[in-house]
Amino acid sequence: MLFLSLAAIGKLDVTGPHGARRAGPPLVVHAEVQAAIDAGEPVVALESTIITHGMPYPDNLHTARAVEEAVREAGAVPATVALLDGVCHVGLATEELTRLAQLGRERVAKCSRRDLAAVMARRGHGATTVSATMLLAHLAGVPVFVTGGIGGVHRGGEASMDVSADLTELSRTPVCVVCAGVKSILDIPRTLEVLETNGVAVAALGARLPSARASEFPAFFTRSSGCAAPLTVANPHEAAALVHASRSLGLSSGTLVAVPIPAKAEAEAGAVQAAIEAALGEAEVAGVQGRELTPYLLARV
């Protein structure tokens, strides 16, 4: 994983639960997260959809804690983002993280940017996707967000217009998103085209093609996607310089840094592709589409 420490954006005030501080009524920043922001220390935002919609309790809680611990071991402060009782949280206390994991998908809405206001209005619970996590992290002054894989253009998206809100958010929110690439179930070439059209800087971290000068863009389950990455950064320092230059220019777009999955954890590309094709066929027969399609396909794969 890659962690960057950048200057805080503004000051937050008004004390909330657990010593947290509020940026107006709807956004609560955990005290530890706020202290790190104020001190210019590294903070890493984490999404919460994987907690509520990715696996059952208590496996989801164990995973969430393990991810936060990995961030701490790397020298940064984790800030898991979620909504509880209609309040947006950037950083969760132990009991809040536990409560979110126990509530699960039946009682927690999956929230992208468009869903935040609705969940807040009904004082509900929400697990943030990439787009919502980016937005709330930016509002709190957290400039880096780590996730597994981003959404993109769905296969057949040229006809269905099924394009993830993640791509639009990357075009308008200046947060650095570090991930393992675009989910393999998606149309990766078209996803990269949309990111280019929207002016998003996309870089792969040191993933060189065996027989070419270009860098390969990773595909979540695998290190290879068959697509050349638009940019290459050899190490975290080069990635940080890219983000710093973008902020210096005052660009409103985010930066996407794709870190290939470790070789020892990589899936066999042919097996993954076969599983994807089978899952796509099953989804069509079952009539699964829209926001339910990605979790369905990932579960089937």
| Active site residues per annotation | 47, 183
Closest CA to 51 of 1, 121, 107: 107
Alpha-carbon gap, residue 292 to 282, rounded angstroms: 13
What token pair was written down for 174? 């200046």
Question: 26: cis peptide before it, omega within 30°?
Answer: no
What token pair was written down for 56? 């059952």
Say which DSSP state 179 is in. E
What token pair was written down for 17? 């639960």
Give 250-267 as a 3 state SS string.
Answer: CCCCCEEEECCCCHHHCC
Alpha-carbon gap, residue 70 to 77, rounded angstroms: 10
Alpha-carbon gap, residue 20 to 33, rounded angstroms: 9
Contact, 171 vs 131, CB < 8 A?
no
Q: Tell me the three state secondary structure of residue 85.
A: coil
Question: 58: cis peptide before it, omega within 30°?
Answer: yes
Q: Which amino acid is at 49?
A: T
Alpha-carbon gap, residue 150 to 200, rounded angstroms: 13
